[in-house]
Amino acid sequence: MPLGERGGWDKSESRYCGVETDFDNDMPHLLSYNLSTGGFDFVVATLMDPAYRPSLVERDASGGSNVLPFAASDLVLSPSQWSSHVVGQISSWIDLDSEDETIRMDSEITLKQEIAWAMHLSLQACLLPSPKGTFCANYARCVNQILQGLNNMQLWLRIPLVKTDDDSMDSNQLVSLITSPDAQILPLKNVSYISSWILVFPPRSHHEYHIGLQLTYFIDSWELWNSFRLLCEHHGQLSIALNVLSSLPSANSLGRWFGEPVRAAIINTDSFLTNARGHPCLSRRHQKLITGFFNHSIQIVISGQSVHSLPGGSLDSAANHTVNNVDNAQRHPLRPYLDYVAYMYQRMDPLPEQERFELGYRDFLQSPLQPLMDNLEAQTYETFEKDAVKYIQYQRAISKALQDRIPDEEVTSLTTVLMVVGAGRGPLVRAALQAAEETGRKLKVYAVEKNPNAVVTLHSLVRIEGWENEVNIVSCDMRFWDAPEKADILVSELLGSFGDNELSPECLDGAQRFLKEDGISIPSSYTSFIQPVTASKLHNDVKSHKDLVHFETAYVVKVHSVARLAPSQPVFTFTHPNFSTEKSNQRYKKLRFELPSDTGSAIVHGFAGYFDATLYKDVHLGIEPSTATPNMFSWFAIYFPLRTPVCIQPGSPLEVHFWRCCGSTKVWYEWCVLSPSPSPIHNSNGRSYWVGL
Beta bridge partners of 262: 240
CATH class belonging to 378-493? alpha beta
CATH superfamily assigned to domain 13-52+70-162+220-350: Divalent-metal-dependent TIM barrel enzymes (3.20.20.150)
Query: 202-225: per-residue pLDDT in tens?
Result: 443 333 333 343 333 446 899 999
d(CA 153, CA 147): 9
Report the percent of the chain where pLDDT is more than 70. 85
- The residue that leads in pLDDT, 18 or 194, is 18
Per-residue pLDDT band for 144 (boundaries 50, 70, 90) equals: very high
355 is catalytic: no
Q: Residues 472-485: what's their mean pLDDT? A: 93
Q: Which of 5-9, 74-78, 484-488 has the lowest mean pLDDT?
A: 5-9
pTM tops 0.95: no
pLDDT at 135 over 90: no
Map out the domains of the chain as residue ranges.
13-52+70-162+220-350, 171-218, 378-493, 525-692
- The residue that leads in pLDDT, 176 or 256, is 256
Task: Report the mean per-residue pLDDT for the chain.
Answer: 87
- Identified catalytic residue from 502, 506, 552, 624: 502
d(CA 595, CA 643): 21
Q: Residues 366-379: what's their mean pLDDT? A: 84
Query: 145-197: per-residue pLDDT in tens?
Result: 999 999 999 999 999 998 664 443 343 333 333 334 444 433 333 333 333 33
pLDDT at 423 over 70: yes
- The residue that leads in pLDDT, 597 or 419, is 419
Q: Starting at the earlier edge strand, list the strands of the sheet with 415-421.
A: 471-475, 442-449, 415-421, 487-491, 515-522
502 is catalytic: yes
Q: Residues 54-69: what's their mean pLDDT? A: 63
CATH superfamily assigned to domain 525-692: Hnrnp arginine n-methyltransferase1 (2.70.160.11)
Strand blocks (E) in 508-601 = 515-522, 525-534, 555-557, 563-564, 569-575, 587-593
pLDDT at 540 over 50: yes
Residue 37 corresponds to which amino acid?
A: T
Per-residue pLDDT at 579: 86
Q: Hey, how many other C-beta atoms are within 10 angstroms of the C-beta on 647?
A: 16
- Identified catalytic residue from 20, 493, 506, 670: 493
Q: Which of 40-49, 382-391, 504-513, 575-584 has the lowest mean pLDDT?
A: 575-584
Sequence-distant (6+) residues with CB within 8 A of 141 are 231
| Cα 119 to chain centroid, rounded | 29
3-state secondary structure (DSSP) of residue 416: strand
pLDDT at 1 over 70: no
Per-residue pLDDT at 200: 41
Taking Cα atoms as reference points, which of 149, 160, 296, 143 lies closest to residue 229? 143
Q: Give, rounded to a whole angstrom, the gap between the first and last alpha carbons of the chain.
A: 55
Query: 74-123: per-residue pLDDT in tens?
Result: 888 999 999 999 999 999 999 999 999 999 999 999 999 999 999 999 99
Taking Cα atoms as reference points, which of 616, 523, 599, 611 lies closest to residue 565? 599
d(CA 118, CA 125): 8
Q: Hey, how many other C-beta atoms are within 10 angstroms of the C-beta on 464?
A: 8
d(CA 54, CA 103): 10
Strands 555-557 and 86-89: unpaired
